[in-house]
Amino acid sequence: MSRANLVGLLPSELEDLAVELGASRYRGRQLATWMYRKSVFDLEAMTDLPRDFRQALAESAVVEVPEPEREMPSADGSRKLVFVLNGGSRISSVLMPDDERITLCVSTQVGCGFACGFCLTGVMGLERNLTAGEIVGQILAANRLLEEGRRATHIVFMGMGEPLANYAALVKAVRILTDPKLGVGYSPRRITVSTVGLVPGIDKLGREDLKVNLAISLHATTDEVRTRLMPVNRSFDLAALMAAVKRYPLASRQRVFFEYVMLEDVNDTVEDAQRLVRLLRGVKAKVNLIPFNDWEGARFRRPPLARILAFQSVLLGAGITTTVRWSKGEDIGAACGQLREPSAVATVRAG
Ligand code: SAH
């Protein structure tokens, strides 16, 4: 049987484990501090843990943080990290520095089952969910690659996969990241969970009281167009989605983010922008327009800049904060919707 990975256990679970191994809960808290606060993953280096406790841990568990197999730097300063997981699947995370801010984009699944027409990850289909340890591991591993004393300042669940379709592992990972004393120490306001619009998941997330930011991949303003782009819209249409968004609990200055990928002649007209304004009425919203990132075989095009700016100005004119997000890492296949990593198993067979 494979030994359990301690990375991915909640601090409270580490306390329970310590008790199971005949030590006090305090030893579990020390263990959490070493891994999550100090980024030390070698049991031998955890010098204030009694030797017999370390021995018992080493016999029953491992401390595993994924090593990046490849690190691809982009001309724009972002870096794509490719990880090989147990079993041979590959996933990627993307580090995106911007002055003092360093945003880390992490994956929650290998592949994705939602098949949005414009997204390359969707072409893969869903291979499997990531564990909480594999999700937290991406963050710990990425932070280790930064210079001494620096770490990602913001975390976005916008890599491969649909976070709310891997709900339990996502929530566990967020709790480990945000536990104020024994976790990795992130403020929930610097964490954003992005979804295709799974209404029951949005409601459930709202009830967890995690206080993380919610991002909705909207991409269209009519059900007809949205269903064409995103099959999930058949299950949860725009009315149901917007109702769930309005129920999501927000702190006083918090807003819901809306992602809108701009596709030429599909969703990029001034009328679309006006419909979007109406859709967002009564919602504390911030809109991110993402000019479509091309991939081989895609059936869409990026609109000309003038169209994107005209769309943006309608929203700005209505008082809606709207930015155009020029994706990072387009040259290395790290931009929004470009993540697809062949599994290591397949590569070995082919080679
Ligand atoms: N499944 C979640 C998390 C992925 S987020 C979600 O859909 O929200 C990745 C973001 O990039 C989503 O908003 C997605 O719609 C967008 N995207 C996908 N393919 C894209 C492409 N080719 N160009 C630009 N944005 C894209």
How do the pLDDT tens digits run along the chain, 351 residues long? 568 999 999 999 999 999 999 999 999 999 999 999 999 999 999 999 999 999 999 999 999 999 899 999 888 889 999 999 999 999 999 999 998 999 999 999 999 999 999 999 988 899 999 999 999 999 999 999 999 889 999 999 999 999 999 999 999 999 999 999 999 999 999 999 999 999 999 999 999 989 999 999 999 999 999 999 999 999 999 999 999 999 999 999 999 999 999 999 999 999 999 999 999 999 999 999 999 999 899 999 999 999 999 999 999 999 999 999 987 787 877 888 778 887 765 444 333
241-247: long-range contacts at Cβ-Cβ below 8 A with a sequence spacing of 24 or more? Answer: 241/197, 241/199, 241/202, 241/216, 242/279, 242/283, 243/199, 244/197, 244/199, 244/202, 244/203, 245/202, 245/214, 245/216, 245/283, 246/282, 246/283, 247/202, 247/203, 247/206
CA of 304 to the centre of ligand 1 (A): 20
124 and 177, same domain (yes or no): yes
230 and 332, same domain (yes or no): yes
> In angstroms, rounded to a whole number, what is the distance separating the alpha carbons of residues 145 and 94?
12
Q: What's the distance, CA 92 to chain centroid?
A: 11
Q: Which residue's alpha carbon is at the smallest distance from atom 6 of ligand 1? A: 195
Cβ of residue 32 lying under 6 Å from some atom of ligand 1: no
Cβ of residue 261 lying under 6 Å from some atom of ligand 1: yes
Tell me the C-alpha to C-alpha distance, in Å, between residue 300 and each of 150, 229, 342: 38, 11, 23
Tell me the C-alpha to C-alpha distance, in Å, between residue 25 and each of 132, 170, 186, 276: 22, 25, 23, 52
Q: Which residue's alpha carbon is at the smallest distance from atom 10 of ligand 1? A: 336
> In angstroms, rounded to a whole number, what is the distance separating the alpha carbons of residues 63 and 148?
22
Residue 226 near residue 219 (C-beta atoms within 8 A): yes
Q: What DSSP line would sit under 33-68, residue for residue?
A: IIIIIT----GGG-TTS-HHHHHHHHHHEE---PPE
> For position 79, which CATH number holds?
3.20.20.70
Domain extent, residue 78, equals 74-350
Cβ of residue 293 lying under 6 Å from some atom of ligand 1: yes
> In angstroms, rounded to a whole number, what is the distance separating the alpha carbons of residues 178 and 133?
15
Q: Which of 112, 158, 264, 286 most suits a substitution to test ligand 1, by most atoms within 8 Å of the C-beta?
A: 158
223: Cβ contacts below 8 Å, ≥ 6 apart: 233, 237, 238
What length is written for the chain?
351
Cβ of residue 195 lying under 6 Å from some atom of ligand 1: yes
42 and 122, same domain (yes or no): no
End of a domain among 13, 29, 62? 62
155 and 288, same domain (yes or no): yes
The helix/strand/coil state of 247 is: helix
248 and 314, same domain (yes or no): yes
> In angstroms, rounded to a whole number, what is the distance separating the alpha carbons of residues 313 and 71?
38
96 and 179, same domain (yes or no): yes
Phi, psi values for residue 259, rounded to 5°: -95, 135
Burial class for 227, CB neighbours closer than 10 Å (0-12, 13-18, 19+): middle
> In angstroms, rounded to a whole number, what is the distance separating the alpha carbons of residues 65 and 49?
20
CA of 292 to the centre of ligand 1 (A): 9
Q: Which of 109, 155, 217, 289 most suits a substitution to test ligand 1, by most atoms within 8 Å of the C-beta?
A: 217
CA of 45 to the centre of ligand 1 (A): 40
47 and 94, same domain (yes or no): no
Cβ of residue 336 lying under 6 Å from some atom of ligand 1: yes
Number of domains in the chain: 2
Pairing of strands 68-73, 61-62: unpaired
133 and 98, same domain (yes or no): yes
Residue 339, pLDDT score: 84
> In angstroms, rounded to a whole number, what is the distance separating the alpha carbons of residues 300 and 309?
19
193 and 154, same domain (yes or no): yes
End of a domain among 36, 62, 88? 62
Cβ of residue 220 lying under 6 Å from some atom of ligand 1: no
Cβ of residue 263 lying under 6 Å from some atom of ligand 1: no
Enumerate the β-bridge partners of residue 286: 257, 321
End of a domain among 62, 94, 112? 62
Cβ of residue 118 lying under 6 Å from some atom of ligand 1: yes
